[in-house]
Structure 1
């Protein structure tokens, strides 16, 4: 979630990381493949006839992933229905799985915002490298998600991370078709990943992105099966969303509950708690209800302004704490962000084929979403639809995060409608262990799981990397998480 008083940490970037054992063979005779040199950088270029997209990438830059035999690609993709009038370009970085890359599943990672780069996830959370002990250069991350899967990190919408161009996306719903088109072009260029198990993992505003992107992919798959849509079916098997922003009505209230009752930092006194609850009941909740009933841009934008001003920003202004980790002071960003200095180096940008300066969480994409009130709109029903479809769905949260705290995420999880809702609500949270060590507590019914992770802020994989990798692997294996 992108708050108005602080730069948001969880974003999105179309530098994509995944793997490819070898460049794929040709597809349709209408597709084109060639090489070109731009600004001194040599690119492999693929033009996809079906989507009108253009993929330009460099091979094995040597940046971040240095494991012998593991391939990576980075560059740009242009996607649009009219390449002369509407297009978007986004960097992509693509990291191969370290184990069995030719058979490993494919997963995407999206940071949130809206309007934050997925380079955050790549370099600070679950990517092949991180910056340890204050180092200015990255080292291999032993708990990278590409230990198990081929990972694709996507920067969207335009203007985020290294992506650049004409940004027309102003909502989660309008973002989904562009993500699908990008994936279609990706499969056409790298057909060895077609039909493999596919997963969507995301955080923060991913509470919007994850359900909507998943549902859109399922709708397109249905259209492909009937012949109404031209494209490659995507074998979506799993969705994982940590510290997600799903539903404003429940999660604005959770700001108040968490601020008074979390085990790390009592932000509100009992008297302040009562005052804020009165404000929530009289101002915030009615405004959100109006958004939910009318579904208009104006009412949803007004609700965001009302709740942000009277609840979110008001609480943030009362105490010195980091909304992404309440154990940290406000002006001491954590995790450390050395990766931004690294990505600012011209030599690094040249190596990965970047054609613009890096922007972690620029304002313009966020403001576009604000004009439609997208932040306030609930994606609970969409999440319920995805769970009802039968794929494996995990919602999880670090318990030291305030901005998308575990109390709000649990409230959302309990409200998900599927054929196991009653059982899920009655179920008691059980300890979750990793190699015998308790690192959280969880409950699961059928294909739906909730997990609270101990001693973790907003970016769960940074704080609890071993737990995060185990959770990721189990979810991608299409099974409920379980203790080890």
Structure 2
């Protein structure tokens, strides 16, 4: 169901920091290239045989004086041109951390989150030109937005990736080439944020980075060590076996609106136990495309579609990402804006903008039912701060389901964490949600927020974002 709302990447060898010798720099190249009337800054990276082509300070979106931005492409594989859009921090960019953001879907462009939730600009009151977002994440961090997989957003070329695990090496390759082109960011703390299907992407991509760091340290590969400190996923889809059962419970009982009656609730629980649960177990046991696709089809047909049909009864317009009546959801004004020829030329985009590419390859590969709790476990054990935060008006990746996921993560503090109660989290003295935290694992429920959490609660989202990357942890204000 995540792709209904939002409708990625072999690894290449990279140069290490110590390998940037005089002889290697001699074969790396920097120059300016004119293409279709656009002047690109080009960096040819010899170690990866990749090429960065980007426009500096396009004047699009981020218009704060003195804040730099770069937009363009990095070749991450054969005819695979991945789009990035980088914004300096508005405050102290020389020391601010670096944060990578990719969206969910699978196949939703990073610009969706950029323009509707956490980026430097947004559209207000049906305006056709964006204005500055005072709660942008680049108020605190240097933000790197990445369109993945290929075919999403402004990325283009061979769209061969069809699973989360196959997507990870290409994102790592982009980061390696980015660091070599912009070495001033190498020593910064690095974090990654995502949402929705980012419950797959986030844990796996960051685990891959941590594993590559270990391989670099062992001398197995060459590359730039990335100082990973945090992963944040809002309203994430991590584990369908856990979250599908939670969907049934949430549809029957939540604080906003009952979506199903008691008898239907009992029917759905029976379907889950007799049809869906065994299929999830088989997918986990074999990991085959056939078994995992079957698990996906079972829960879609037996749970998701019936709940959707029931929820729509008697309601003329309904959105599972915000079950309140009336609901609200982010505007899509950015799509038409990014499809304008003048905007694309200014940014250096070479193809038309696609907000959501097809989720089909990921669905048919059986990627959706795969659990990424093992990846979360590896990250928590490795000392990476993990934030799982959820808007409580969202059905699709609802807060009881993501709480169950957080409680199920195996690590030394699992039992203590699972038995903790949620306590209030405040912003300037006003309660905005509840949370619990132990060491480097945090769970948060945010009130009055739907699937795209920062859209609904921008000010508290910025506070949570900032605190996640600071050593003091999550602290109510």
Distance in 1 (alpha carbons) for counterparts of 2:343 and 2:325:
31
Q: 2 CA distance for matches of 1:319 and 1:471?
A: 32
Displacement of 1:333 after TM fit?
A: 7.2
Tell me, in whole angstroms, the C-alpha distance in 1 between the residues paired with 2:73 and 2:37.
Answer: 15
Aligned twin of 1:347: 342
Contact 1:249–1:285 (CA<8 Å) still a contact in 2? yes
Q: Contact 1:400/1:458 (CA < 8 Å) preserved in 2?
A: yes
**How far did residue 12 of structure 1 move?**
8.5
Residue 383, structure 1, aligned to residue 376, structure 2: yes
CA deviations on 1:137-183 (whole Å, 9 max, x unpaired) are: 11100010000000001100000011111011111111000000000
The alignment status of 1:438 with 2:431, answered yes or no, reads yes
Moved over 3 A (4+): none
TM-score by length of 2: 0.94
Aligned mates of 2:350, 2:82 — CA distance in 1: 10
Structure 2: gaps (5+ residues): 10-20, 313-317
Deviation at 1:372, TM superposition (A): 1.7
Q: How does 1:394-413 map to 2 (within 5 A)?
A: 394-413=387-406
> How does the TM-score come out when normalised to structure 1?
0.93
Corresponding residue number in structure 2 for 1:249: 241
What residue number does 1:334 align with? 329
2:49 to 48, 52, 69: 52
Q: Distance in 2 between matches of 1:308 and 1:107?
A: 34
Q: C-alpha separation between the residues in 2 aligned to 1:193 and 1:315?
A: 47
Contact conserved, 1:53 with 1:78, CA < 8 A, in 2?
yes
Deviation readout 1:310-345 (Å, 9 max, x if unpaired): 11122112222211111257xx87211111111111
Q: Does 1:316 align with 2:308?
A: yes
Deviations 1:281-305 (A, max 9, x none): 1111111111011111110011001
What is the aligned counterpart of 2:38 among 15, 34, 41? 41
**After superposition, where does 1:117-266 map in structure 2 within 5 Å?**
117-266=109-258
1:87 CA displacement: 3.3
**Residue segments in structure 1 that go unaligned for 5+ positions in a row:** 14-24, 81-85
Deviations for 1:24-70, whole angstroms, at most 9, x for unmatched residues?
Answer: x9972221111111121110111111112111000100010000000
Q: What is the count of residue pairs matched by the alignment?
A: 460
What's the offset of the Cα at 1:478?
3.7
Does the 8 Å contact 1:12/1:112 carry over to 2? no
Instruction: Tell me which residue corresponds to 1:421.
Output: 414
Alignment RMSD (CA, Å): 1.6
2:8–2:168: 8 Å Cα contact kept in structure 1? no
Which residue number in structure 2 is paired with residue 452 of structure 1? Answer: 445
Aligned to 1:17: none
1:392 touches 1:480 (CA, 8 Å); kept in 2? no
- Quick check: 1:440–1:454 contact (8 Å CA) kept in 2? yes
What's 1:359 paired with? 354
Whether contact under 8 Å (1:63, 1:352) holds in the other structure is yes
Q: Deviations over 1:217-275 (max 9, x none)?
A: 01111111121111100000011111111101011111111111111121011111111
